[in-house]
Chains A and B, each alone.
Chain A
């Protein structure tokens, strides 16, 4: 007698996974980067659903907020700023590039799947029981401020460095204005 909850989870999972695949493929196949970015939002959202299923509530929330809310928006701004120029996927470049890409990506995928399959005979699906606090913001916070304090701090440093980089690169004055400037040095 299948558990209803279980069926529900399965349904949600299938939907999310399908969305995940299709949006992922959409990202890499849309001609227009703008659409790709939009597809990425869907992709990230589907991921968030899976995270929820895996009891990672805080991560799921962060996923939606940080990624979909911030990163992709930034992408969209840039795309809008640059004016989305379309390019055809699979076009241009040497033939071996496309073939090789598909073969290599496929091979990696298959290999890891095989590895998982081999492992699955073992106890891969024997999941440990989890407490109610697992994945909750409080638990994540506790981990971040205890064992993973350093990681927490480092992420902020990385973010800061990236910000500095963004400023340097983004605020670069076009070269025609700078030519004389550098010559004077």
Chain B
């Protein structure tokens, strides 16, 4: 009889997730015992503290780890890739809190929104360090289920419910595919740990393995809204409460892409020619589809959703090339990208609260002059999405294209270029609306200035700072990214 071996539990490595879970527990339970007036503030404060704690913990871990190792019986991996991603995720969550704080119409002061937010971040932090198919699946479901609920949390609005249900149906469909793929990979190798899969996959008999790989790719591509698996994205982004969209658009991408990178390099290094090319093709489709569809959008959130699809294309380029430079490019790209996404949705949220209705592009007219700070921030985000300095995303694109060129896939970089040119139309459409269109003011009936919202403004300012800061401080950040991917085994 085998003896019971208690696995070695690396509490330090789990600390970010644990801090978030603790925060989630606090926000779930404590407000019930607090007076109604302070619940909201308390929850937000605790959530922020938990996110900061998680971020700091991850940062400390990052500083201490110089190579990766499996923890808790190799279920997770403690390495800088995960820790860097965790910092970015915590940051996105933190920004999202600023956006959420004044969101009207939420359940009165009960902390469950923040519970879900923390849980989602926790799930993602878990997910990015997943080191086996099982933890991958569980982490995915963890944060997905949190997100399903968050999307639908504005239960008054049919749009929110619709978004939630759509996300749930398509998401579960994707999860089921991912699960079946995992099963096939397990069947092909007999292993669920990533490294073990790589070791066991050496054989020449690969049919089940590649079928499983295909299904895993589809499941992950779905999560990062790469075309043609992106179709949930516009509906869900548009229907979900804007702060949720802000968070989801940034964090899901970070988590999904980092894990994709980890899975493919760690477990499927032997199948490199399959996934590199197919991801490149998916990237191209995303670039084309996202940009084209965005051209004709009128709703700003939907426009940004399609932009997110196109950026999935950009972000898949560095993964597809499968080189260390690509890894660096991905991690660096994600930093300004996450901030810009949260920031731009935050501004949409602010406008939405001001107008008390969904924001269309023409609703932005005159905003640049009336709300100068939001205007400038939004303009910088839009210019940044195009890839103009001084947004860090410019360097992100530079790195992504560099990775493609270095790999010898100049054509991929050129596809990216063409897509960027197309994207100019709609990003500048937003800027044009804010500054150029005659400012027939259409404020909320109350008129005048909108309610002060320092939390949201802080979030926007922070996003802006990250967006611009990543440009100027690119050197150190890229060093971080390099450390993050140092021990991945890139096929090229």
Show the binding face of B for A, using Cβ within 8 Å. Answer: 1-2, 4-7, 9, 21, 28, 72-73, 75-76, 104-105, 107-108, 112, 115-116, 119, 122, 126, 134-135, 138-139, 141-142, 145-146, 148-149, 152-153, 155-156, 164, 180, 184, 187-188, 205, 207-208, 210-211
Assess whether B146 is in contact with A146, with CB atoms less than 8 Å apart.
Answer: no
Interfacial residues of chain A within 87-115, with CB under 8 A of chain B in the complex:
111-112, 114-115
| Chain A residue with Cβ nearest B76 | A150
Kindly list chain A residues whose C-beta atoms are within 8 Å of the C-beta of B149.
161, 164-165, 168-169
A147 at the interface (CB under 8 A from B): yes
| Bound-state Cα–Cα, A124 to B235, Å | 43
| Bound-state Cα–Cα, A36 to B207, Å | 35
Given A142-B2, A150-B72, A161-B142, the answer on whether A182 and B207 have CB atoms closer than 8 Å is no
Assess whether B207 is in contact with A164, with CB atoms less than 8 Å apart.
Answer: no
A interface secondary structure, majority: helix
Assess whether A175 is in contact with B156, with CB atoms less than 8 Å apart.
Answer: yes
Kindly list chain B residues whose C-beta atoms are within 8 Å of the C-beta of A145.
4, 6
| Bound-state Cα–Cα, A115 to B75, Å | 28
| Bound-state Cα–Cα, A119 to B206, Å | 8
- Stretch of A2-10, A43-51, A76-84, A152-160 at the chain-chain interface: A152-160
| Bound-state Cα–Cα, A172 to B161, Å | 11
Kindly list chain B residues whose C-beta atoms are within 8 Å of the C-beta of A158.
138, 141-142, 145
| Chain A residue with Cβ nearest B152 | A169
Closest beta carbon of chain B to A96's beta carbon, Å: 14
| Bound-state Cα–Cα, A157 to B135, Å | 13
User: Can you report 13 residue pairs joining A to B where beta carbons are below 8 Å apart?
Assistant: A142-B2, A146-B73, A148-B75, A149-B7, A149-B72, A151-B134, A151-B135, A151-B138, A157-B122, A165-B116, A165-B149, A168-B149, A182-B105
| Chain A residue with Cβ nearest B108 | A181
Assess whether A185 is in contact with B138, with CB atoms less than 8 Å apart.
Answer: no
Assess whether A161 is in contact with B145, with CB atoms less than 8 Å apart.
Answer: yes
Indicate the member of B5, B107, B156 with the most A CB atoms within 10 Å.
B156
| Chain A residue with Cβ nearest B150 | A165
Closest beta carbon of chain B to A48's beta carbon, Å: 18
Kindly list chain A residues whose C-beta atoms are within 8 Å of the C-beta of B2.
142
For A109-147 the 0/1 string (1 means CB < 8 A from B) is: 001101110110010100000000100000000100111
Kindly list chain B residues whose C-beta atoms are within 8 Å of the C-beta of A119.
188, 205, 207-208
Kindly list chain A residues whose C-beta atoms are within 8 Å of the C-beta of B207.
114-116, 118-119
Kindly list chain A residues whose C-beta atoms are within 8 Å of the C-beta of B164.
169
Closest beta carbon of chain A to B107's beta carbon, Å: 7
Given A142-B2, A149-B9, A154-B126, the answer on whether A116 and B208 have CB atoms closer than 8 Å is yes
A85 at the interface (CB under 8 A from B): no
Assess whether A154 is in contact with B142, with CB atoms less than 8 Å apart.
Answer: yes
Assess whether A122 is in contact with B145, with CB atoms less than 8 Å apart.
Answer: no
| Bound-state Cα–Cα, A119 to B204, Å | 11
Kindly list chain B residues whose C-beta atoms are within 8 Å of the C-beta of A111.
211
| Bound-state Cα–Cα, A167 to B141, Å | 18
| Known A115-B207, A146-B73, A168-B149; further 16 A-B contacts with Cβ < 8 A | A112-B211, A116-B207, A142-B2, A145-B4, A145-B6, A148-B73, A148-B134, A149-B73, A150-B73, A154-B138, A157-B21, A157-B119, A164-B112, A179-B156, A181-B108, A185-B105
| Bound-state Cα–Cα, A147 to B139, Å | 17
Assess whether A169 is in contact with B7, with CB atoms less than 8 Å apart.
Answer: no
B interface secondary structure, majority: helix
A65 at the interface (CB under 8 A from B): no
Closest beta carbon of chain A to B450's beta carbon, Å: 14
Kindly list chain A residues whose C-beta atoms are within 8 Å of the C-beta of B6.
145-146
Quick one: which of B7, B21, B152, B187 contacts A146, CB cutoff 8 A? Answer: B7
Interfacial residues of chain A within 48-68, with CB under 8 A of chain B in the complex:
none
Assess whether B211 is in contact with A168, with CB atoms less than 8 Å apart.
Answer: no
Closest beta carbon of chain B to A145's beta carbon, Å: 7
Closest beta carbon of chain A to B131's beta carbon, Å: 10
| Bound-state Cα–Cα, A154 to B153, Å | 23
The 7 A-B pairs of least Cβ separation, nearest first, read A165-B149, A172-B155, A182-B105, A147-B73, A115-B211, A118-B207, A175-B156
Closest beta carbon of chain A to B242's beta carbon, Å: 15
A71 at the interface (CB under 8 A from B): no
| Bound-state Cα–Cα, A23 to B194, Å | 36
A162 at the interface (CB under 8 A from B): yes
| Bound-state Cα–Cα, A145 to B76, Å | 16
Assess whether A161 is in contact with B156, with CB atoms less than 8 Å apart.
Answer: no
Kindly list chain A residues whose C-beta atoms are within 8 Å of the C-beta of B180.
112
Assess whether A165 is in contact with B72, with CB atoms less than 8 Å apart.
Answer: no
Closest beta carbon of chain B to A39's beta carbon, Å: 19
Kindly list chain B residues whose C-beta atoms are within 8 Å of the C-beta of A150.
72-73, 75-76, 135
Quick one: which of A142, A149, A168, A175 contacts B107, CB cutoff 8 A? Answer: A168
| Bound-state Cα–Cα, A80 to B339, Å | 46
Given A154-B135, A154-B142, A158-B145, the answer on whether A185 and B119 have CB atoms closer than 8 Å is no
Assess whether B205 is in contact with A122, with CB atoms less than 8 Å apart.
Answer: yes
Assess whether B211 is in contact with A154, with CB atoms less than 8 Å apart.
Answer: no
Assess whether A161 is in contact with B116, with CB atoms less than 8 Å apart.
Answer: yes
Kindly list chain B residues whose C-beta atoms are within 8 Å of the C-beta of A172.
155-156
Assess whether B184 is in contact with A168, with CB atoms less than 8 Å apart.
Answer: no
Assess whether A182 is in contact with B208, with CB atoms less than 8 Å apart.
Answer: no
Closest beta carbon of chain B to A82's beta carbon, Å: 14
Closest beta carbon of chain A to B300's beta carbon, Å: 22
Given A115-B211, A164-B149, the answer on whether A185 and B9 have CB atoms closer than 8 Å is no
Given A149-B9, A182-B104, A185-B105, the answer on whether A164 and B156 have CB atoms closer than 8 Å is no
| Bound-state Cα–Cα, A157 to B188, Å | 30
Assess whether B75 is in contact with A168, with CB atoms less than 8 Å apart.
Answer: no
